[in-house]
Amino acid sequence: MDEAALEPARRSTLAAFSSRDFRLLWGGQTISFVGDAAFLVALGWRVTDLTGRASSLGYVLALQSLAMLTTLLLGGVLADRYPRRRLMISSDIARALVVGGFLAIELTGHMTLGAVLGLAAAFGLADGFFQPAFSGIVPLVVETPLLPSANSWLSIARQSSSVVGPGIAAGLYGAVGPSPVWGIDAASFLVSATALALARPRDVRTDSQSTIKREFVEGFRYVVSVPWIWTGILAATVILMIAMAPFNALLPRVVQNHYGRGVGSYGLLFSLMAAGMVAGSLAWARWHPRRHRVFICFAAFGINDIGIAVLGLSPWYWLAAAAVVWRGFFIGIGIASWTTLITQLVPERLLSRVFSFDFFGSFGLTPVGYAAAAAAATAIAPTTILAVGSSVAVALWFVPLTWDRVRNAA
């Protein structure tokens, strides 16, 4: 294909970068995503080093998720009521202070599982205010036709940084320990806050006479009135509990015991999965079909879980590496398509509330999943837990698609 024929597609894919405010949002979040990805890998290995038990990380992640869920719905209401940029900046500063706490405790040599649990809970509380505001700010920095490009590039930023972040964490952790990783993540939140302070997103018109309770109810009624939204959230509630939560909680032990490898191989799996997600997000950015989008979204989420099953069943690390690339590719398509559907089809004034219900519903049972995986791993091989949970998840994602109102919604 010649250069002239390729040019329109390129313009479509990169169109969101024509907005100065989107460039600031994307740049700040890219740096923050790198810090978060490095933090997650270092946290997993640090907790495993502290306790030597597969169950410990599951309990840490369960508490962090539970804390996030505590503030998530309130965060959605506030983000539709007050400037979303202001909430994001406040959350960035709070999370920088929490991760700074990790650094201070580590440097004094007093890191314990109790300290990790307390800091993880504080981090989750601050994160619950950030996520709905972040999801709702995208349509305020780009015009509607540019949303597929914007959502895809934010997903690409998140996943590209997940290629870089685990490599940084593995290298620094293996060389000098976790302290530099905590410092990088804390600094990344300050970079994000600075970029947001420079941005000027559009304002959202709100009803100043409405109460927080009334706005909460309005958002809930909207969600349950749209079949593809509530069935997607309901499916994710169960599937993330039985597939994603065990994957995150048990992967360090699988890498150590099943494959006999160290932190570098653990970080590599995260990086490979992120590379697959980048490819999937890019595929959606160039493709962004106008029909059968809900079907594509749900099917992609279902197909991704095959990767977890293969990782659980494979005796070879190289096949596990290929499986996480597969998983990442279809997660990339699923997330980009779901986010685009919501930002395009949900009224702007309800957007953060809908995203907060999405996050709350989707992740509502993940604390149970983390805790259950941790408990089950004391009696059942972690690989068996991953294989069984993900196999059920594959089937469950296709159940909503048997309903015509979901399958052909958009």
Q: Phi first, then psi: what are they for 390, rounded to 5°? A: -70, -35
347 burial via Cβ count (<10 Å: 0-12, 13-18, 19+): exposed
Residue 111: left (phi > 0), alpha (psi -120 to 50), or beta? Answer: beta
Whether residue 108 lies inside any domain: the answer is yes
Q: What is the pLDDT of residues 89-107, one digit of tens each?
A: 999 999 999 999 999 999 9
pLDDT for the residue numbered 348: 83
Residue type, 358: D
**pLDDT at position 197 over 90:** yes
What percent of the chain lies above the pLDDT cut of 90?
Answer: 45
> Distance between CA 320 and CA 270 in Å, rounded?
11
**pLDDT at position 192 over 90:** yes
Q: Phi first, then psi: what are they for 143, rounded to 5°? A: -80, 160
The number of folded domains in the chain is 1
Q: What is the pLDDT of residues 46-93, one digit of tens each?
A: 888 888 776 677 788 888 888 998 999 999 999 988 889 999 999 999
Q: Which of 251, 267, 262 is nearest to 382 (CA)?
A: 251
Terminus-to-terminus CA distance in the chain, angstroms? Answer: 31
Among positive and negative, which fits the CA dihedral 251, 255, 258, 259?
Answer: positive
> Distance between CA 83 and CA 133 in Å, rounded?
8
Average per-residue pLDDT for the chain: 87
**pLDDT at position 127 over 80:** yes
Residue with the bigger pLDDT between 126 and 1: it is 126
pLDDT for the residue numbered 207: 60
Q: Which of 326, 319, 268 is nearest to 300 (CA)?
A: 326
- C-alpha 64: how far from chain center: 14
pLDDT for the residue numbered 11: 47
Whether residue 154 lies inside any domain: the answer is yes
pLDDT for the residue numbered 205: 67
Q: What is the mean pLDDT of residues 336-365?
A: 88
> Distance between CA 318 and CA 206 in Å, rounded?
53
Residue with tokens 């620094």: 172
> Distance between CA 2 and CA 10 in Å, rounded?
13
CATH number, domain containing residue 134: 1.20.1250.20
**pLDDT at position 4 over 60:** no
Q: What is the mean pLDDT of residues 239-249?
A: 90
**Cα radius of gyration (the chain):** 20
Q: What is the pLDDT of residues 34-52, one digit of tens each?
A: 999 899 888 888 888 888 7
**pLDDT at position 7 over 50:** no
Whether residue 202 lies inside any domain: the answer is no
Whether residue 111 lies inside any domain: the answer is yes
Q: What is the mean pLDDT of residues 288-304?
A: 91
Whether 387 and 320 have beta carbons less than 8 Å apart is answered as no
Per the structure, the complete domain to which residue 151 belongs is given by 15-197+212-407
What percent of the chain lies above the pLDDT cut of 70?
Answer: 95
Indicate the pTM of the whole model: 0.75
